[in-house]
Amino acid sequence: MKTVSSLLDDHWYERYKRISKLNIRSSIYDVTDRCNLRCKGCFFFSSGEHQAAAEEKDITRWHAFVESEMARGVNLAILIGGEPTLCLDRIEAFYRRLPTFCATNGQIKVPRERFPDLMVGISLWGDAEDEKILRGKDTFRISSANYAGDPNAYYLYTITPKQLGKTETIIRKIKDVGLKVHVQLLSNDEGVDGFSWRPEELAAVREEMDAMLDCYPETMISSKYYHRIITTGEMGGRKFGWMECPSVTSALDRRESRPRRLTNFIRWASDLKTMHRCCTSETRACSTCKDGAAHMSWVMVNKRAHMNSTVDLQNWVEVYEMFAKLYRFIPW
């Protein structure tokens, strides 16, 4: 029988043991159905999720809800949808009780005196030109001023096909404001012309992401295996899609093949009652979904499928470490 220690040397085995018992149980929460931007390709609005449920406005219910989520075993709250920083009291309901990550467009600064170590992920959809086309403004100018040097914030850089050959400029800008960056790929849910990926572009962006990781290892939180997974949609000969996705809401998961999945994962709407199908848009085609977290989770829940060789298991360790760093279960 292949064991972990028979595949990994002492250095890698120690890295494995650092993460093997973290037992991360995440769920995702829409904090509000409003946003201060309207981005083309934002799945929350393009799929009508902002109209799926009327947000709960009674803050006492948010507090009670978080308690019930903790009782359900959740130990990582991922706050998204529409723009969480419009409702700081709701963020606080989570933050007071459990590790909390807040995805934001960065246009409103989270007050650090109130949320000293709240994990903040700032969305960025390319360079200023792309951002103006897709989001109506250059968000980086404001978000970088709000969060420069913040040790608990990083950029979630969504690379678009138009960014090929330009990513270094963005990554250097992020480095220069003292922040780190995690990369993912635009899924282009609204089919904006010129922003859908072609196979040769996916191959090229993989090479570019790998090169950036080599050049900026202290700035980029990533791994080459992750790059391979999100650009090919393949893992060990299996194709990513509905029958493989680990990030389907558990209570709505009727898949008879019972694929490996996140334990007890739910994506909640902001009425605190409605559940969304999965971590991203219900209208998105799963076979072309580029969601970075879903692909990371896909790797993470398939650990033993990576116990065939030393390299496979090292790849798994790197992806798990990346996830654990992004949500601060281990240091950068």
Partner 1 sequence: MSADINQTITRIAEIIIDELKLEDVSPATFDPDLDLVDEVGIDSMDLATIALVIRDEFGIRIDEDDYPKLTTIRIIAEYVADKRSGGE
- Tell me: does residue 21 bind partner 1 (CB under 8 A): yes
Q: How far is the CB of 2 from partner 1 (least distance, A)?
A: 7
List binders of partner 1 among 47-106 (CB under 8 A). Answer: 73
Q: Which of 307, 312, 324, 330 binds partner 1 (CB under 8 A)?
A: 307
The pair of structure tokens assigned to 28 is 């995702």
Dihedrals phi, psi of 67, to nearest 5 degrees: -60, -45
Q: Which of 5, 36, 169, 309 binds partner 1 (CB under 8 A)?
A: 5
Other Cβ atoms less than 10 A from the Cβ of 295: the count is: 24
Q: How far is the CB of 292 from partner 1 (least distance, A)?
A: 21
Classify residue 145 as exposed, middle or buried by CB count within 10 Å of its CB (0-12, 13-18, 19+). Answer: exposed
List binders of partner 1 among 193-232 (CB under 8 A). Answer: none
Stretch touching partner 1 by CB under 8 A, among 103-111, 115-123, 230-238, 256-264: 256-264
- Tell me: does residue 263 bind partner 1 (CB under 8 A): yes
The pair of structure tokens assigned to 332 is 């950068």
Q: Which of 9, 23, 111, 243 binds partner 1 (CB under 8 A)?
A: 23
How many residues in the shown chain lie near partner 1 by CB under 8 A? 18
Stretch touching partner 1 by CB under 8 A, among 18-26, 114-122, 142-150, 231-239: 18-26
- Tell me: does residue 260 bind partner 1 (CB under 8 A): yes
- Tell me: does residue 261 bind partner 1 (CB under 8 A): yes
Q: How far is the CB of 301 from partner 1 (least distance, A)?
A: 7
User: x/- binding map, residues 264-303, to partner 1, per CB under 8 A?
Assistant: -------------------------------------x-x
Q: How far is the CB of 300 from partner 1 (least distance, A)?
A: 9
Stretch touching partner 1 by CB under 8 A, among 2-10, 117-125, 148-156, 226-234: 2-10
Q: Which of 96, 172, 255, 304 binds partner 1 (CB under 8 A)?
A: 304
- Tell me: does residue 327 bind partner 1 (CB under 8 A): no
Other Cβ atoms less than 10 A from the Cβ of 237: the count is: 6
- Tell me: does residue 17 bind partner 1 (CB under 8 A): yes
Q: How far is the CB of 18 from partner 1 (least distance, A)?
A: 11
Q: How far is the CB of 25 from partner 1 (least distance, A)?
A: 8
**Residues 239-254: b if buried by 16+ CB within 10 A, e if exposed:** ebeeebbbbbbeeeee
Q: How far is the CB of 264 from partner 1 (least distance, A)?
A: 9
Stretch touching partner 1 by CB under 8 A, among 150-158, 204-212, 248-256, 257-265: 257-265
Q: Which residues bind partner 1 (CB under 8 A)?
A: 1-5, 16-17, 20-21, 23, 73, 260-261, 263, 301, 303-304, 307
